[in-house]
Structure formats: structure tokens, C-alpha cells
């Protein structure tokens, strides 16, 4: 892969950040955007703008076609069976809330169990907590092992007759653990339990195949996939979208509205109420083209090499403690340094132009389990190089020097 040329496609790297070249190691939080995506938003607003799915004038029809083209591109990218299984949302958070809310409304009652894992991001815990408060649903957590991993056995152990849905991450945004989702889904389905996957961290780094995974729901965050903010995707099997009640009510999601009653629109309109993030959806087509141009196999190879290299140099660095050693790992290097708070690490690294994240990464349950209040996290994207990781290591050493004074 020609990283230098790929990097040139991202205008952010043309700028200095506090007089430094930018070493961006925060893609698990949000990725940078290639120029094709930025330009597409500009072009759409300057030459092609209209709302979609409403008016019949030329611009409206053209914009609607573009919007639907992205849906088809997403369907192909994730190998969903049907285009109408793709619902646009404002983010993965909204996608998960949509499922928790509608599935919860129809299928969950007091004493039922929702099975999560200790690895979950708050976006895949808080929506279920609402159901605990409103309906008396119990939340059960499958436990991580000391490697920060979740085995199929740890899931199996927690399944009971009361388990009504399993909702879990594909790739942990803290330990980098890649969960055996296909096997977990198979196990769940053998007990008639549907499965929701939080695919936020896997979607930018792994080959996605909904028909092969066979999960019921899969949530994706477009801003982590070199796409615009304000956009997410819910993949859901058609049977669920047909079965579940609408999430939000408003224009665009109805069929007929009478004083006495309302009937809802066809799929996926039933779940896309109000004016959608039109420009973002249309620009996301460019993100998919960008990813397709690189090719998922090349991307995986590049990021695996980087991850191995990053682990190697950080393990050699005596004061760095890497978090998690899962069987299969992706794109994330979380760590602590004894005696230095992660926020201090991130602040000092920032002075060297190295952008990482510090905090609990919206995973407080996992940090509690690890006995940590926070950690530092370097995460990888397509534009990163071994040189970036060397700079990370050098900046960590600089940080240690400052704190030993």
C-alpha cells in the first residue's frame, strides 16, 4: 500500500498542529476525512442541494437518487441481502437506541434479561439501562478474562431462559479484542435469541459480511470510516424492520395520516423520520469508494503490521503497560504508565504533535474491572505509518523524562 500517497488524500496532514506535523493516533475516536468526502459535501451544497424523498422537482429527484445510491453502496459493502435492510441514523449511538427502544417496547418486560459484555461502550449500555429503569429489565454482563477478551464460553455461561437479546461489540475500543461474533450468533440463534453487534470499531478495519455473520442487527459509525459526522447505519434483518414499531415519528416515515389513525411507510422509510443527514449520506458514498479503492485485504494487512510493530516497541518500553492481550486484536493500543495520569500523557504527547485519547473511552465498566480510572489510547487508521509509532514512543519517553525531573 502506498501510504504516502494515501496520506496526501487527507488535507488535514498538510497543516501544522501547534507547529508540529500531525501524528494522528485517534481514529478509534473519529477518523480524518479524505478530500473526496469533503469535496462531495461542498459540491452537493453548492450545486445539487435539495431535501430528499419529498418534492418532485429536478434537484429533489436527483438528490433522492444520490441518497439511495449510498444505501445500495452500503448494502454491497456490508453484503446485506437487501438494500432496505440499511437504515440511516445520526450515529451508531442512535442505531443502538433504535433497537433498544423498539425491541424493548415490543419484546421486553420485567425480569427479562439483556446480555451485554464488560467490554461495551456506554452507547451499548445506557440505552439498555433505560429499559432497566422503565421496565424492570435485568442487564447481565459476560465477563472479560485477564487478557481483556470475551470467550464464547463466557457468553454461554450467562445465557438463561430469560435472555431475550444479546448485544455486544465486535471489536473492543479499549483492549482491541475481536470477538467471535459469528460463533456467538450461531449459539444465540440455537436458543432463539437475537443478536445486536456494535460494529463501530470493526467496520473501519474488517471485512463485513452480514449474510455470513447472520446477526440480527449491526450498528456502524460513519465518522470512524473516513466519512462525515452526524451519520450512522443500522443494518437490521428485514424481518425485524417489518416486525418492530417505528422509533421516531414525523414526516417521511408515514404512509397515510388520518385524524383517527396513521399507517407507516415502507422499509426503510418507517425508521427514517424527518429530514435526514442528506449531505452526509451522499458524501459517505465517497468514503466507501475510498475504502474500496484501497481494498479491505490491503487495509487489514497494513493495519496488522502497524499493530504488531506498535505492540513490539511499546512492550520494549519498560514503563508502558499495554492493556489487554486478546487472542485476536485490532487497531487499538491502550496503555498506562505508572505514576503519570493518562490525561498528562495525552497533554504532553500533544505538545509533540501526537494526538491520542485519554480517559475511560466511554467504557467505565471495563476500566472499573481493570482497576483503572482512565487509560491512554493510540488507535490506528489507514494513514498511519511505523514512523508515527516511533514518534509516539519517542514522545512517551519525553513524557517520562518530564515527570522524572
Ligand X SMILES: Cc1ncc(COP(=O)(O)O)c(C=O)c1O
Could you say which residues in the range 150-189 bind ligand X, by CB under 6 A? 169, 173
Among the candidate windows 55-63, 128-136, 198-206, 366-374, which touches ligand X by CB under 6 A?
Answer: 198-206
Query: How far is it, in rounded angstroms, from Cα 314 to Cα 127?
Result: 36
Tell whether residue 123 is a contact of ligand X (CB under 6 A).
yes
Query: How far is it, in rounded angstroms, from Cα 68 to Cα 380?
Result: 31
Contact in structure between 214 and 193 (CB atoms under 8 Å): no
The beta strand positions in 46-146, using DSSP E, are 86-89, 113-117, 138-142
Q: H or E element: which one contains 152?
A: helix 152-156
Tell whether residue 198 is a contact of ligand X (CB under 6 A).
yes
For residue 190, the minimal CB distance to ligand X (Å) is 26
User: Quick one: which of 200, 299, 323, 389 contacts ligand X (CB under 6 A)?
Assistant: 200
For residue 375, the minimal CB distance to ligand X (Å) is 14
Contact in structure between 24 and 381 (CB atoms under 8 Å): yes
Tell whether residue 97 is a contact of ligand X (CB under 6 A).
no
Of 169 and 395, CB closest to ligand X: 169
User: Quick one: which of 92, 277, 291, 346 contacts ligand X (CB under 6 A)?
Assistant: 92
From the list 200, 215, 362, 399, the catalytic residue is: 362
For residue 29, the minimal CB distance to ligand X (Å) is 6
Tell whether residue 118 is a contact of ligand X (CB under 6 A).
no
- Tell me the sheet residues that pair with 173: none
Of 34 and 232, CB closest to ligand X: 232
Among the candidate windows 53-61, 144-152, 193-201, 264-272, which touches ligand X by CB under 6 A?
Answer: 193-201
Could you say which residues in the range 357-386 bind ligand X, by CB under 6 A? 362
Query: How far is it, in rounded angstroms, from Cα 105 to Cα 108?
Result: 6
Residue 363: active-site member: no
Within 10 Å of residue 167's Cβ, how many Cβ atoms? 26
Contact in structure between 208 and 189 (CB atoms under 8 Å): no
| Residue in the structure block whose three cell numbers are 505514576 | 339
Of 120 and 388, CB closest to ligand X: 120
Of 122 and 238, CB closest to ligand X: 122
Contact in structure between 368 and 325 (CB atoms under 8 Å): no
CA nearest neighbour of 27 among 220, 205, 282: 205
3-state secondary structure of 374: coil
For residue 333, the minimal CB distance to ligand X (Å) is 15
Please spell the DSSP secondary structure of 297-311, one letter per residue. Answer: HHHHHHHHHHHHHHH
For residue 120, the minimal CB distance to ligand X (Å) is 8
For residue 175, the minimal CB distance to ligand X (Å) is 11
For residue 202, the minimal CB distance to ligand X (Å) is 9
Pull the grid cell for residue 364.
467505565
Tell whether residue 73 is a contact of ligand X (CB under 6 A).
no
Among the candidate windows 37-45, 197-205, 234-242, 281-289, which touches ligand X by CB under 6 A?
Answer: 197-205
Contact in structure between 252 and 272 (CB atoms under 8 Å): yes
User: Quick one: which of 84, 97, 117, 221 contacts ligand X (CB under 6 A)?
Assistant: 221
Tell whether residue 332 is a contact of ligand X (CB under 6 A).
no
Tell whether residue 342 is a contact of ligand X (CB under 6 A).
no
Burial pattern 213-223, b for ≥16 Cβ within 10 A else e, equals bebbbbbbbbb
3-state secondary structure of 121: coil
For residue 96, the minimal CB distance to ligand X (Å) is 7
User: Quick one: which of 70, 201, 336, 395 contacts ligand X (CB under 6 A)?
Assistant: 201
**Interface characters, 18-47, with ligand X (x: CB under 6 A):** ------------------------------
3-state secondary structure of 376: strand
Please spell the DSSP secondary structure of 7-20, one letter per residue. Answer: HHT-GGGGSEETTE
Of 247 and 393, CB closest to ligand X: 247
Tell whether residue 91 is a contact of ligand X (CB under 6 A).
yes
User: Quick one: which of 34, 194, 232, 381 contacts ligand X (CB under 6 A)?
Assistant: 232
Query: How far is it, in rounded angstroms, from Cα 369 to Cα 158?
Result: 18
Residues 6 or more apart whose CB falls under 8 angstroms from that of 348 comprise: 395, 398, 399, 402
Q: Would you name the residues annotated as active-site residues? A: 362
Residues that bind ligand X (CB under 6 A): 91-93, 121, 123-124, 169, 173, 198, 200-201, 221, 232, 362
Amino acid at each position: 500500500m502506498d501510504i504516502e500517497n494515501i496520506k496526501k488524500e487527507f488535507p488535514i496532514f498538510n497543516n501544522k498542529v501547534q507547529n508540529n506535523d500531525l501524528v494522528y493516533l485517534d481514529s478509534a475516536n473519529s477518523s480524518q476525512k479524505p478530500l473526496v468526502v469533503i469535496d462531495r459535501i461542498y459540491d452537493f451544497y453548492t450545486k445539487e442541494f435539495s431535501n430528499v424523498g419529498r418534492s418532485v422537482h429536478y434537484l429533489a429527484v436527483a438528490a433522492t437518487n444520490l441518497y439511495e445510491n449510498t444505501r445500495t453502496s452500503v448494502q454491497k459493502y456490508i453484503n446485506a441481502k437487501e438494500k432496505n435492510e440499511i437504515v440511516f441514523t445520526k450515529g451508531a449511538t442512535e442505531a443502538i437506541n433504535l433497537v433498544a427502544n423498539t425491541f424493548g417496547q415490543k419484546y421486553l418486560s420485567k425480569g427479562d434479561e439483556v446480555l451485554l459484555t464488560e467490554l461495551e461502550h456506554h452507547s451499548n449500555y445506557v440505552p439498555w439501562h433505560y429499559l432497566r429503569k422503565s421496565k424492570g429489565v435485568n442487564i447481565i454482563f459476560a465477563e472479560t478474562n485477564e487478557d481483556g477478551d470475551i470467550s464464547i464460553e463466557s457468553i454461554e455461561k450467562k445465557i438463561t431462559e430469560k435472555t431475550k437479546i444479546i448485544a455486544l461489540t465486535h471489536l473492543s475500543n479499549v483492549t482491541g479484542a475481536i470477538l467471535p461474533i459469528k460463533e456467538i450468533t450461531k449459539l444465540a440463534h440455537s436458543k432463539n435469541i437475537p443478536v445486536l453487534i456494535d460494529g463501530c470499531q470493526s467496520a473501519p478495519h474488517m471485512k463485513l459480511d452480514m449474510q455470513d455473520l447472520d446477526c440480527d442487527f449491526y450498528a456502524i459509525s460513519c465518522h470512524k470510516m473516513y466519512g462525515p459526522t452526524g451519520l450512522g447505519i443500522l443494518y437490521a434483518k428485514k424481518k425485524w424492520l417489518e416486525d418492530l414499531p417505528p422509533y421516531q415519528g414525523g414526516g417521511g416515515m408515514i404512509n397515510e395520516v388520518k385524524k383517527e389513525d396513521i399507517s407507516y411507510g415502507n422499509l426503510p422509510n418507517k425508521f427514517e423520520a424527518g429530514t435526514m443527514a442528506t449531505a452526509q449520506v451522499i458524501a459517505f458514498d465517497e468514503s466507501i469508494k475510498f475504502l474500496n479503492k484501497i481494498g479491505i485485504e490491503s487495509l487489514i494487512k497494513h493495519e496488522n503490521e502497524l499493530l504488531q510493530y506498535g505492540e513490539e516497541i511499546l512492550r520494549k518500553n519498560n514503563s508502558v503497560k499495554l492493556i489487554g492481550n486478546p487472542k485476536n486484536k485490532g487497531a487499538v493500543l491502550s496503555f498506562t504508565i505508572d505514576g503519570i495520569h493518562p490525561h498528562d500523557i495525552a497533554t504532553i504527547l500533544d505538545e509533540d504533535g501526537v494526538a491520542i485519547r485519554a480517559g475511560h473511552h466511554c467504557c467505565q465498566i471495563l476500566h472499573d474491572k481493570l482497576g483503572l480510572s482512565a487509560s491512554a489510547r493510540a488507535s490506528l487508521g489507514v494513514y498511519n505509518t511505523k514512523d508515527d509509532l516511533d514518534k509516539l514512543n519517542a514522545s512517551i519517553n519525553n513524557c517520562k523524562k518530564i515527570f522524572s525531573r
